[in-house]
Amino acid sequence: MSMMMIRLLSRNNSSSFSNLPMRCLHGASSDEAVSTYSRLRDIYNFHPPRPASEDPERKKKKPPKPQYRPPSSLEGVKKKMHSSLPFDFRFSYTESSSSVRPIGLREPKYSPFGPDRLNREWTGVCAPAVEEDPKLEEIRRKEREKIQGPPLTEAERKFLVELCQRNKTKRQINLGRDGLTHNMLNDIYNHWKHAEAVRVKCLGVPTLDMKNVIFHLEDKTYGQVVSKHCGTLVLYRGRNYDPKKRPKIPLMLWKPHEPVYPRLIKTTIDGLTIEETKAMRKKGLAVPPLTKLAKNGYYGSLVPMVRDAFLVTELVRIDCLGLEKKDYKKIGAKLRDLVPCILVTFDKEQVVIWRGKDYKPAEDEAEYPPSFIHHEGL
């Protein structure tokens, strides 16, 4: 009996559904749709969904996400940064000298650290240290000795050098034509956080005076160069170095323009007339080149080569074909101070130098500072 009732109900429902007009499913009018929905609700208890236009939840639009705005270096900060590093902040420590004063600036005195970010004023060349103490050098020496601790033994030094080989680690600081820059100090301290020593690869113009590079590396970081092979150095952080007490180093946000310095090549060489100067320049460009410098090479042996050449000839020509103009000009300026000699011309990408009338061979000086243990061939 129950099965028969279920079949009758299903027949009635199917017949009622079949009697529904098809127009309600395909674009029926509003009155017909309402009547159809009412019949569906009566038969199946069906409630149609609300139209999208009447849904209050959909009317509420989500607020748009704020547009991404990168941090700007022109925005001021609430508190200026103070750094206790006891030296003047320069863009490059090896390629600039405090003894040479510029004759002009190429841009206004905009601080490369950003406006109102450092409690030091930018002079256009450097940011001088605010505090000046007459015993500053003594304080720095004691601080460095405290960090370095007892000297390394030969076995310890060899172990550090072995750890910094290319097949052991990829940690390396690349020192290029700009020399030891200010931001490079932060990179060195980041490497010292995970390793006792870091490899420093030197190429280009700074390698002409490796003694200067080693001095500034040790002076600005309080570290110690324990090995040198051509342009590759190993910089040790010290026995008592604590990464948690690393100094605060404000980063330069952009590279400042180099100031205007006096011309390296003068119209006439001191002690010569105009005609003699022209004849010497023509003769210098005709002499055989002493050597040809490769781009971004190692120039550590150039100064001894020039000094030896001046023992037999008065003019030396160095072929700098392919080098950038600012690079071989820096090479000429370094040779003038290190050999010493007189610059003749930079024409045709050549560096021509003259030993002068009263030339005396320079005395051999200590090639490296006393704190550096000189080990070649490692």
Q: Dump the DSSP string for 224-289.
A: EEEEEETTEEEEE--TT--GGGPPP-PPPSSPPPPPB---SS-SS-TTS-HHHHHHHHHHHHHSPE
C-alpha dihedral, 284 to 286 to 292 to 294, nearest 10°: 80
- Residue type at 16 in one-letter notation: S
Distance from the Cα of residue 215 to its chain's centroid = 20
Task: Inform me whether the pLDDT recorded for 372 exceeds 50.
Answer: no
pLDDT given at position 234: 95
Average pLDDT over residues 205-214: 94
Task: Inform me whether the pLDDT recorded for 5 exceeds 80.
Answer: no
Give the total residue count for the chain. 378
Q: How confident is the model at residue 26 (pLDDT cuts 50, 70, 90)?
A: very low
Per-residue pLDDT tens digits for 260-294: 998 999 889 888 899 999 999 999 999 999 999 99
pLDDT given at position 65: 81
Separation of alpha carbons 16 and 340, rounded Å: 113
Per-residue pLDDT tens digits for 136-187: 788 888 889 999 999 999 999 999 999 999 888 999 999 999 999 999 999 9
Q: How confident is the model at residue 60 (pLDDT cuts 50, 70, 90)?
A: low
Average pLDDT over residues 201-230: 94
Average pLDDT over residues 75-79: 60
pLDDT given at position 341: 92
Structure-block tokens of residue 323: 């080098």
pLDDT given at position 119: 87
Question: Is 253 within 8 Å of 281 (Cβ atoms)?
Answer: no
Task: Inform me whether the pLDDT recorded for 52 exceeds 90.
Answer: no
Percent of the chain with pLDDT over 90: 53
Instruction: Reply yes or no: is the peptide bond before residue 340 cis, omega within 30 of 0.
Output: yes
Average pLDDT over the chain, rounded to whole? 82
